[in-house]
Chains A and B, each alone.
Chain A
Amino acid sequence: MANNKTEKNTLVHDTISLFVITVVAGLLLGIVFTVTKKPIEQQEAKTKAEAYEAVYEGAEFAEDPDTDKALEAYNEELAAGTVTKGGEVLSDVEITEALKASVDGQDAGYVMTCSAKGYGGEVELALGIDNEGTVKGIRITSCSNETPGLGQNSAKEDWNGQFIGMTTGQEVAVVKDNTGSTESGTINAISGATITSRAVTRAVDGALGFVAGLSE
């Protein structure tokens, strides 16, 4: 009986101490979370702003309700798989944000963040498109799930610079025989990373399609 009682006591004691440790840990995490929340948001905003600045130099960006509405509708179309371009269904493409760009107070196109599914996960990129529907600049903001040395090379400017100058009228496609050119709307694939190259191309196609729809 006595043995039983002490056993029960230690059980209660063990449970309580484990509970206290967990609660203290939870509280501490809560504090750290609130402390780091702001820097995390700032960091994200900063990275985004830098990317937009890089893809559309000298412009200012602002949200626009009409664009947001159109974007929502377009994203639904994308997800439903009804948008095709360059012979591919763009069902994995998503445009997460689109801002109006203005230079000296005049409308000058859009900047947007869009993503598509690459080899190991989402590839995310920022894109600047001017009023004529021409790609002004592109920057891969996240491709860390792609293969280093292959898919991650998509972040290098000497590859993704190929997209600059593509227009809304074109259906950008990937070619593997190094014959890509702006005029024909083709991009040379990164050798060994066709899936990543295609993903970036789909995302750009999706974004161009969106802008084309807006100006109609």
Chain B
Amino acid sequence: MAQTSQMTVSDEVAIEITNMNKWYGTFHVLRDIDLTVQRGERIVICGPSGSGKSTLIRCINALEEHQKGKIVVDGTVLSSDLKNIDKIRSEVGMCFQHFNLFPHLSILENCTLAPIWVRKTPKKEAEEIAMHYLEKVKIPEQADKYPGQLSGGQQQRVAIARSLCMQPRIMLFDEPTSALDPEMIKEVLDTMIELAEEGMTMLCVTHEMGFARQVANRVIFMDAGQIVEQNEPEEFFNNPKSERTQLFLSQILGH
């Protein structure tokens, strides 16, 4: 397995997936997935639609159940035990393609909800934390508005801030920019780059290859539920080994 030599990556293992398989009914979505993520590593997962990349990262915080194999997140084994699942979920932040903000709560309430109810943080302290992260994603002035009043890019940045308020050790991004206008993609990517520079462990399903080149330690290419190729970004883009990867790259970088 390709080990990166960057300073921010520690030897500590953040996520370890061994021989993981998942089926939807009889459809074999994920096949023999093996993946080890070091703390501080930034991984970009790409691949054609239906290749199982979203399902893979959704298995990591148990939004999807895997049927075979083992997933260890932060030293906790993912089993059907609800306590372990809740523990892992509060350590792992997730951002969705469609943001999934809570429309009936203000931006600030969106950010303070989980700290108050899951972490039992006092309300005042939770609001301070929330304002800190809203400043970080550069929209503190929107704190009292509702999600419906914000643009898509702003909503996605709020979603990132909402996850960060739980002070997670790992962040998962499930195509965070694919529902956005081109103008707004940049503001979200900038936020993610900033996060990466601070050493957050990140798994990111995305088709933003510029982002992959700039911040990823490793790029993973998936097809038909399997990891086809993984490599450092330079090598991955300039010198793809498998034919399937070459075809995919020629199609998305072709124009």
Query: Is B a genuine binding partner of A?
Result: no
> Which A residues fall within an 8 A CB radius of B?
none
